[in-house]
Amino acid sequence: MPDLSTVFTGLRFENPFLLSSAPPTESESNIMRAFDAGWGGVVSKTIGLHPVVNVAGPKTKFFRTGVESDAITMRKIPDAALHSSWNWELISTKPIDWWVPRLMRIKAAHPTKMLIASIMAGSGSDEELRNWQTLAIACQEAGADGLELNLSCPHMDRADMGSNIGKDAALCSTVTQAVKEVATIPVWSKLTPATGDIAVEAGAVFRGGAEAVVSSNTFPSLPVIDPDTLEFEINVDGLVSSGGLGGPAILPISLAKMAQMTKAFPDKAFSGIGGITTFTHALNYFLLGCGTVQVCTSAMLDKAIGPNVIAGLNAGLAEFLDHNAHRGWTCLEDFRGMRRDRIVANSQIRRPVDEDYFGGYEGYSNDGSGTSGDGASGDDSAESAPTAAPAAKGTLPPGFARS
């Protein structure tokens, strides 16, 4: 049996597979069962200090799509395949006093498993920043091995909380720094994918001192409308609010977000989440540079904590290492990040005919003569043209010049 263990942010994981912060990790019994089933680590359901009251109705449902039909629906349909999860569940309804003795018991029962506590507070005042510190201290004193800062819950009305922090680079940095002031254990920041360039917020939490970035939380989304009743398929008294999409549908978009960050910070630590059920899915995140991955939706649908999912992930990694033993690979580190550099600008992809293409800019040549047809004079100042603004005719931003 190959060695599946890995060291991530200084913590030794038996295997790189974690249950993410969500219903599978909302109770002591679930987390104990998860460790017994073989998960290398868990991130607890997010713990906070503010009032939490969930909606009066189902908090999570699953979209399915039919092989025979083109439906994407929460209704039961034949030959259905899982499309995604949709939820508008808030963080743990249990207070920190409820969690502390449970974290202690879990850690005592499973000293070699990694227990990460997810925490969340506001950011609108010094008192809120102290709340982050209160939560951090309580969880680390209870024996948590690491902290995950929830900067990404997509359904918070409070402007200073959840993904509203994750959308603001300055707040990302401030909150992370506040926790780092008191933390003696590694701090991971979980970012929202709902931003233009997630590498900006990743840079901010790293500047704040985070040991790792975690992504993705669920994507902001709505349930679909039933064409017969004209009601949202999940609603309370006919009303709905934005919720979060997870599961298979988000794998490719979550990978794109992750690649933005791992390319910008190739030497930093990342934990990948989004749409993982099998090792084949997880492999994508590892090849982009992630050192661990986390799972929610598929575990929810597998006896609440994913015993079959983790068995498959561990077997898949073992088989993959075995299959690639001839390359000298013995552990995750030997192949981590090896496909990160394959993601390039569209203009760097080979064209079918022998024609120059400059990403939509007018032609340019490095010898200063310009190219035919555009009247360009090969202005040297092109080298310093900003990438964000369209370049003047005949000029190119850095990175587009051809040798």
Q: Which residues bind ligand FMN (CB under 6 A)?
A: 20-23, 45-46, 60, 85, 87, 89, 91, 118, 150, 190, 216-218, 246-247, 250, 273-276, 295-297
> Do 163 and 153 touch, CB atoms closer than 8 A?
yes
Between residues 87 and 173, which has the closer beta carbon with respect to ligand FMN?
A: 87
Alpha helices per DSSP H over 16-122: 28-37, 96-109
Q: How many residues does the chain have?
A: 403
Total Cβ atoms within 10 A of residue 193: 26
Q: What DSSP letter does each residue of 156-180 carry, written as one string?
A: --STTSTHHHHT-HHHHHHHHHHHH
Closest-approach residue to ligand FMN (CB): 246
At closest approach, how far in Å is the CB of 196 from ligand FMN? Answer: 20
Q: Give strand ranges (E) for 153-291.
A: 187-191, 212-215, 219-221, 243-246, 269-273
Identify whether 153 is a catalytic site residue. yes
Between residues 217 and 262, which has the closer beta carbon with respect to ligand FMN?
A: 217
At closest approach, how far in Å is the CB of 295 from ligand FMN? Answer: 5
At closest approach, how far in Å is the CB of 357 from ligand FMN? Answer: 36
| Active-site residue, from 139, 153, 172, 296 | 153
At closest approach, how far in Å is the CB of 146 from ligand FMN? Answer: 14
> Do 135 and 46 touch, CB atoms closer than 8 A?
no
For the chain, report the end-to-end CA distance as a whole number of angstroms: 49
Between residues 294 and 395, which has the closer beta carbon with respect to ligand FMN?
A: 294
> Do 150 and 179 touch, CB atoms closer than 8 A?
no
Between residues 155 and 393, which has the closer beta carbon with respect to ligand FMN?
A: 155
- Residues tagged active-site: 153
